[in-house]
Amino acid sequence: MGRSATPEGDPARTMEMLWGGGSAPVSRPRNGKPGLTLDRIVEAAVAVADAEGLDAVSMRRLAAELGTGAMSLYTHVPGKSELVEVMLDRALATLDPAEHTDGAWRERLTDAARDYFQLLCAHPWILGVVALSRPVLGPGGMAKYERELRAVEGLGLSDVDMDSVVTLLDSFVAGAARASVDAAAIAARGDADSEWWRNIAPHFEKVFDPDRFPLAARVGTSAGEYHSAAFAPAHAFEFGLARLLDGVGALIVDDGTGTD
């Protein structure tokens, strides 16, 4: 999944912002308002992105939200590109950093996948920013990677296979979250699946030939009746995750380590 059109920023400044803290106020408070900090800017940016999408995040908009001038923000943030990197890492940092050593590897990976899925659904703008080929290299991103690797540590997998399992898991979760977010957006517009089907069914039935597509007719009808919808995001996620972990289990068996 590729990044958004936002170009990459200055790596030196980005690393400084990611790892250098940002909680202490630098700008002087005015009219009794709290001093401007990187933390406050990031919090405001995430709130805007959550509500309106990443395109709505601009220095001018954040200045208005924080009650300051746009130029004041540049004391803490060189530009939107660097800010987005910090926003992403701060969001990842909210994931549970617990070691999750209790239970088998499958339980640990399941917990990690569900947590990441919920995070992406809560912050859909992340889906347009995250890139597996160029991961965010902040403490939040590293903690997430460490947790996922810890879930498969000691199972006899090579380091490359461990990384591949984590990459596969993250790719699946991101795809499932995108489908869930899209379905939620359609529902938020008031386009219920039942209404959609009522509108399209009479026209579809006129042109669809079940004798030509017998499996599609049978399976599609069964699935639609079972889910009461054309697509069930929660079921798709849980079913896909279970099958993915079945594959990881087969990989571990092939390596002669057992399934923990």
Report in angstroms the alpha-carbon separations of 47 from 50, 122, 138, 144, 155: 5, 11, 20, 22, 40
Positions of the chain with pLDDT lower than 50, given as ranges? 1-7, 22-27, 32, 258-260
Amino acid 31: pLDDT: 52
Residue spans per domain, the chain: 11-92, 105-254
Exposed e or buried b per residue across 183-221, where buried means at least 16 C-beta atoms within 10 angstroms of its C-beta: beeeeeeeeebeeeeeeeeeeeeeeeeeeeeeeeeeeee
Q: What is the CATH number of domain 105-254?
A: 1.10.357.10
CB 61 within 8 A of CB 53: no
| 239: number of Cβ within 10 Å | 12
Q: What is the pLDDT of residue 191?
A: 67
Alpha carbon of residue 245 to chain centroid = 19
Whole-structure pTM value = 0.85
Kindly state the tokens that stand for 230: 């054309």
Q: What would the pLDDT profile of 125-143 be if each residue is shown by its tens digit?
A: 999 888 766 777 899 999 9
CATH architecture type of domain 11-92: Orthogonal Bundle (1.10)
Q: CB–CB of 81/9 below 8 Å?
A: yes
Query: Which tokens is 198 given?
Result: 């009522």
> Which tokens sit at 246?
């079945």
State residue 198's pLDDT score: 80
